[in-house]
Amino acid sequence: MIIRSAEPADLPRLQAIETAAGEIFRTVAMDAVADDAPPTIAALERYRRAGHAWVAAEDTGTVIAYLVAEAVDGALHVEQVTVHPDAARRGVGQTLIARTADCARNQGLTGLTLTTFADVPWNAPYYERLGFRRLSGAELTPGLRAIRAAEAEHGLDRWPRVCMRREP
């Protein structure tokens, strides 16, 4: 597996990965999440241009996963990490998170943050195994509060959500 910066030609593949990976949400009665549109090419391009979009590719060059992030209140916020279902359970997401932590350290950022579903096994419980901890409401920065507000407006609060943090 190769971890590298995303290239413009990768972006449509990232959308396809997002769509394929979303299907698993149907197994936990979260069809609306599965039906949600993937990030737009323009949104993915903004992360790529900022240097915060990475892909995992097989030795053949086929992209199997991606992670996009942005600096939020002194931390690197993982906006999305998605692994194609055919590549699940091989440590791909963990490897992308490790690369992101390296980036945060190199940029002098204080840690990694993310928001996720609290009770979905491959969400908050997975990130806890990777060293993330759930943040209390008092620990939320203004940027994290704004992200949560946007998620609520998008309808994601139909299911419990949490903010999480990991030191880099």
What pLDDT shows up at residue 117? Answer: 97
Task: Give kind and range of the element (H or E) at residue 105.
Answer: helix 92-106
The superfamily CATH assigns to domain 2-166 is Gcn5-related N-acetyltransferase (GNAT) (3.40.630.30)
What pLDDT shows up at residue 62? Answer: 96
**Do residues 50 and 42 make contact, with C-beta atoms less than 8 angstroms apart?**
no
What pLDDT shows up at residue 168? Answer: 76
Cα 153 from Cα 157, distance rounded (Å): 8
What pLDDT shows up at residue 132? Answer: 98
C-alpha angle 30/33/35, rounded to 5°?
A: 110
Give 54-63 pLDDT, tens digit per residue: 999 999 999 9
What pLDDT shows up at residue 103? Answer: 94
Partners of 113 in the beta sheet? Answer: 77, 165
- The separation between the first and the last C-alpha atoms of the chain, rounded to the nearest angstrom, is 22
Cα 104 from Cα 110, distance rounded (Å): 7
**Do residues 12 and 63 make contact, with C-beta atoms less than 8 angstroms apart?**
no
Residue with tokens 């903010």: 163
What pLDDT shows up at residue 106? Answer: 94
Give 139-155 pLDDT, tens digit per residue: 999 999 999 999 999 99
For residues 166, 96, 145 and 117, what is the CA-based torsion angle, rounded to 10 degrees? Answer: -90
Cα 82 from Cα 21, distance rounded (Å): 7
CB atoms within 10 A of CB 148: 18
Closest to 126 (Cα-Cα) out of 151, 97, 160? 97
List the chain residues with pLDDT less than 70: none
Q: Which amino acid is at 153?
A: E
